[in-house]
Structure 1
């Protein structure tokens, strides 16, 4: 299976801007709704930031560089999702009061 992802200067710039905006907004994980650890280097811990694509690159490679397809996610939640559609209860459990 070939890797459809490409890393270009345009993508690196767009993803860096997306991460910066997420930090400023303290954006939660779009999959589980919990806070993301923006202090950790992206992609290094389960709770660190990981750029997710709403429409997976494996099925929609033309949307890889499209910022409207970007979502803020935990590394762990993004890995659990893979290229499947998101579903309820993916990622961490909600708070006890939920």
Structure 2
């Protein structure tokens, strides 16, 4: 965790100092990154992977909603035009949704 604190230097100008939990002070976050030997590429890769994961979740939820609406429409059509009883069709809907959730 990084804390930021304002100090006054000799000319009474506010300067920002950053310090970590070991209370080592740094002039900037870049200075901290270099002294702690943290590469910016690791940060970029993690950010890129997080963006890909977010895009994948959006695609997954979109396909899930289309699939559920498809199953429901087929089920309601089968309820309307079939000679089976209503309980069988409701069990069919629940079974297909359960298979999808697994």
Using structure 2 for the length normalisation, give the TM-score: 0.24
The structure that is helix-richer by fraction is: 2
Using structure 1 for the length normalisation, give the TM-score: 0.25
Higher relative contact order (Cα pairs below 8 Å, separated by 6+ residues): 1
